[in-house]
């Protein structure tokens, strides 16, 4: 009980959206990339499960979000919200989203650190082959198929954490970024098929994965309810 009271107290101290809508998606959409889209103080999350939303809200890989109700990985929701200021930062939007989840989903969470099997993403022998994006380039991400039928994701002006999160979901375990690459990059990633491997695709980018036990931060959902009506 002490934990829940503390979580509510924290939520009450941060700012809230001026307006916000949470709607269930029926029927749920199929598997797809979910992202936290922020544009001039407006937030848009489409067809996302609660575990995905919590991961985006707290800036942690979905695979590191534990606990929660049985429907946290099946029921999907659209969230559209508007901050009072069009200049609200991404961190401010995340704080507002934490308040929204506490109010509408009755979400209670806490953090822990555990020593678990994980992957470290590191630089390959020849170093990174990622191209740094132009300073004024707009961020973007698109899935496409090559003429040879290869599944590709095209990243434009994208931080490496987006790929790291995708790798964690694909591998079903935490991935820790130890590359030191903290800029925005343009690159294309080929997802593995019968003729290729994840490791070969990373090698094309000058990256590699190392398996080891790491102290990893996790987020535990202590309580969550279906959202209240708009």
Q: What is the pLDDT of residues 63-106, one digit of tens each?
A: 889 999 999 999 999 999 999 998 888 889 999 999 999 999 99
pLDDT of residue 5: 34
CA atoms of 163 and 145, how far apart (whole Å): 18
Kindly report which listed range (32-36, 67-71, 109-113, 169-173) carries the lowest average pLDDT score. 32-36
Nearest to 11 by CA among 105, 80, 84, 112: 105
Is residue 6 pLDDT above 50, yes or no?
Answer: no
Q: What is the pLDDT of residues 8-61, one digit of tens each?
A: 444 444 578 999 999 999 887 766 667 777 788 889 998 999 999 999 999 888
Specify the pTM: 0.70
Q: Assess contact for 82 and 17: CB atoms under 8 A.
A: yes
Strand pairing category for 42-49 and 184-190: unpaired
Taking residues 121-139, report their average pLDDT.
93
pLDDT of residue 142: 86
Is residue 143 pLDDT above 50, yes or no?
Answer: yes
pLDDT of residue 122: 96
pLDDT of residue 32: 61
Q: Assess contact for 73 and 87: CB atoms under 8 A.
A: no
Residue 113 CB-density burial (10 A; 0-12 exposed, 13-18 middle, 19+ buried): exposed
Query: Which residues, listed in sequence order, are joined to residue 113 by a DSSP beta bridge?
Result: 217
Cis ω for the linkage preceding 214 (within 30 of 0):
no
Is residue 225 pLDDT above 90, yes or no?
Answer: yes
Q: What is the mean pLDDT of the chain?
A: 87
Q: Assess contact for 26 and 47: CB atoms under 8 A.
A: no
pLDDT of residue 31: 63
How far does the chain reach from its first CA to its final CA, in angstroms?
27
Residue 55, helix vs strand vs coil: helix
pLDDT of residue 4: 42
pLDDT of residue 190: 92
pLDDT of residue 59: 87
Q: Could you give the angle at which helices 2-13 and 90-104 cross, rounded to 10 degrees?
A: 130
């Amino acid at each position: 009980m002490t934990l829940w009271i503390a979580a509510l107290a924290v939520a009450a101290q941060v700012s809230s959206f001026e307006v916000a809508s949470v709607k269930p998606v029926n029927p749920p959409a199929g598997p797809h990339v979910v992202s936290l889209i922020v544009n001039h103080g407006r937030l848009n999350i489409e067809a996302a499960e609660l575990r995905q939303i919590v991961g985006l809200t707290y800036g942690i890989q979905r695979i590191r979000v534990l606990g929660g109700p049985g429907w946290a990985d099946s029921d999907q929701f659209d969230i559209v919200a508007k901050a009072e200021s069009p200049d609200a930062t991404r961190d401010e939007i995340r704080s507002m989203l934490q308040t929204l989840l506490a109010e509408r989903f009755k979400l209670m969470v806490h953090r822990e650190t555990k020593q678990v099997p994980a992957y470290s993403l590191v630089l390959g022998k020849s170093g990174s082959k990622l191209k740094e994006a132009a300073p004024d380039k707009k961020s973007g991400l698109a899935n496409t198929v090559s003429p040879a039928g290869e599944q590709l994701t095209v990243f434009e002006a994208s931080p490496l954490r987006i790929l790291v999160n995708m790798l964690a979901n694909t591998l079903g375990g935490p991935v820790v970024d130890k590359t030191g690459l903290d800029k925005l990059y343009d690159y294309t990633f080929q997802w593995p098929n019968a003729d290729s491997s994840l490791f070969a695709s990373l090698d094309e980018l000058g990256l590699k994965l190392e398996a080891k036990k790491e102290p990893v931060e996790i987020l535990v959902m202590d309580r969550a309810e279906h959202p209240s009506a708009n």
